[in-house]
Chains A and B, each alone.
Chain A
Amino acid sequence: MIAPLMYGLTVGSIFYLVSVGLSITFGYMKLVNFSHALFYAISPYILFLLSIRYGHGYISSLVIGIIIVMIISYFTEKYGLRKLYRVRLDYSIIATYAILLMGVDLIKALFGATPIPLSEPIGVFVEIAGVYVSLYRLLIVVIAIVVHIFLILFLRLSTVGKIIIASLEDPELVSSFGIDIDKYFSLMFIIGSALAGLGGVLYGPISAAYPYMGLDILQLCFAVVVIGGIGGLLRTINGTLVSAYMAGLIYSISGQLWGPASTISIFILLLIMVLIRPQGLFGGSSR
């Protein structure tokens, strides 16, 4: 039972990293952001390019990959998505889907459509309760938890974080203080995208890098976001954490019981959730 549990925690961590950005854009900018999948898919390719083709170290290629994702997401937000905040939802779905299509096609043109296998950077296994578990996967869980703690501390304690919370809650009031809220939206968007990039670059070595990898995980992450629910910003992030690990465990355990059931069990959960409690597990009724 340790192996599927461990796998569930790993997948849950990746779900969490990808879903944080999604839940913010979905909850506050009222935007279903398909281009998020692109940010997830870009970083493993950059990792592949730098570490395998040009022989850089794993850590440095990881960091460069995330920085490139941040730059791309900055421009996407500034010139594309900013005009779509709080307009009709369908336009945002289509525009972000279009960005995703273009990005996926560019990846295909640059690297080809065949999956590129990436090897695990740390080939060390640790024994837990008689089962050998890859240290790398344990590390992913640790990284996700650390990221979560840092994110919460950043939002709670720093001035910038407090402004972000306030401007997401009530943009008009904050902008009436003379604060340029667009800048803070942009910052939060970049943080979310960078976390998606981190998720991609961490999960890439476990599966492989392929152009549609983002789209596959994105649909599951929408499920995670809806299951978690949208409340206040901190509550949303905490809810995303809980629902991501829940989804990850369901994913791995149902997959263990019956192979094909892993993905679909999350969708069944989503459907049930949407029908009986559309605001999600931790969704507040205030918003």
Chain B
Amino acid sequence: MKTLTRFFTTDILISSIILIVLIFILRSFMPLFMVINVVCFLIFAIGFNILYGYLGLLSFGHMAYYGLGAYVIALYLTYIGSNVFLGILFSTAITAFIAFLLAIPFYKLHAAFFALGHLAFNHILYFLVLIPLATYTGGEDGIRVPLEKFIHINFYNREVVFYFSLLLLLAFIMVFRKFEKSSFYSLLIAMKENETRVNFMGYNTFIVRTLMYVISAALSSLAGVLSAINNAFVTPSFIHPVRNPEVVFAVLLGGPGTVYGAIVGGIAYSLLSYYIAAVIQTWEFFLGVGLLTIVYVLRKGIYDLVYSSLLKKVRGG
């Protein structure tokens, strides 16, 4: 009991309740299908935030991992087995392994080269899916994800997918919120500021960076997997490099560095793109205006703005 209360601290409980309420408010006016996509996007944002927010490494090709997860589960369920849970594990593990292999060469890269190297990687994967592997992946047309009933769980039922992904999302928020209180997180912040010095202090930054990179890739691919199950179909748009800015914007909007920031930004971005695109045709223009505002005025993101102003009020400042 004591460990339980230690794990479920009040701030985690309150934030998860707020999140659940928010998601159910979303459900009341968005189609369920869209809500699940939002939840997947939030998981993706958490995964991206690990690399970008914690370590300050901007990858401009994280869609590669997202799409990799989606394609691997589609292929797994088509050719290997029909157990969805095993498929989720399998595709996440495969992506994590590929990320591990890539983390070693990418370790040398910083800043722009890191971003552009990932962009190139994403382009190559997109190309592979689109043309040379088209016999398996269906090329431009995409591939169906066959979801057979496993015991009594029918993944064609959207409710099942919804609760499953929501549970995962809550679990990740708790884990990462907890993680942000640990001393390991301070190490990451120190690495973000100056990796050479941390290395000099005797920490093996290579292992830390590789570990966080692999976790980030695995979470991103999990988001892709869930989204693929939700859509029951995978198209090349799952891995399209042009979609990379979405998650970068979402995390920036909320404020990189904390899991709450990623969540706030993810929800805000989803709402923005859902509504503005429905109301105004030239929504990209307003997206651009919003982004410029963030960069010039609101550098720390929405979450920090709200949080610090609340803190001021509470303290009576």
Contacts and interface: CB of A to CB of B under 8 A. Distances in A.
A219 B117 contact: no
Given A89-B58, A226-B113, A98 B120 contact: no
A271 B121 CA distance: 7
B104 to A, nearest CB: 10
Secondary structure type dominating chain B contacts: helix
Interface of A: 26, 30, 32, 80, 83-84, 89-91, 93-95, 97-102, 104-106, 108-109, 215, 219, 222-223, 226, 260, 263-264, 267-268, 270-271, 274-275, 278
Contact of B116 (A98, A108, A270): A270
B81 interface: no
A90 to B, nearest CB: 5
Contacts of A32: 112, 115-116
Interface of B: 52, 58, 60, 105-106, 108-109, 111-113, 115-117, 119-121, 123-124, 127, 130-131, 241-242, 245, 248-249, 252, 282, 284-285, 287-292, 294-296, 299
A274 B287 CA distance: 31
A90 B123 contact: no
Contact of B123 (A101, A104, A260, A264): A264
Contact of A264 (B115, B116, B124, B242): B124
A173 B117 CA distance: 34
Residue among B112, B120, B130 with the highest chain A CB neighbour number at 10 A: B120
Query: Sorted from nearest, which 5 A-B pairs have the closest CB atoms?
Result: A98-B291, A102-B288, A101-B288, A105-B285, A98-B288
Given A100-B288, A109-B282, A263-B123, 6 more contacts: A32-B112, A90-B252, A102-B284, A271-B120, A274-B116, A278-B108
A163 B53 CA distance: 39
7 contacts: A89-B111, A98-B295, A99-B288, A109-B282, A260-B130, A268-B120, A274-B120
Contacts of A102: 284-285, 288-289
A169 B80 CA distance: 58
Contacts of B284: 101-102, 104-105
Contacts of A99: 288, 292
Given A101-B284, A102-B285, A271 B117 contact: yes
Contact of A93 (B115, B123, B292): B115
A84 B291 CA distance: 14
Contacts of A80: 292
A275 B105 contact: yes
A208 B109 CA distance: 37
A98 B289 CA distance: 7
B305 to A, nearest CB: 16
Contacts of B288: 98-102, 105
Contacts of A83: 296
A65 to B, nearest CB: 22
A135 B291 CA distance: 44
Contact of B52 (A90, A226, A264): A90
B61 to A, nearest CB: 10
Contacts of A223: 116, 120
Contacts of B127: 260, 263-264, 267
A98 B292 contact: yes
Contacts of B121: 271
Residue among A30, A99, A271 with the highest chain B CB neighbour number at 10 A: A271
B211 to A, nearest CB: 21
B296 A95 contact: yes
Contacts of B113: 226, 274, 278
A93 B58 contact: yes
A84 B119 CA distance: 22
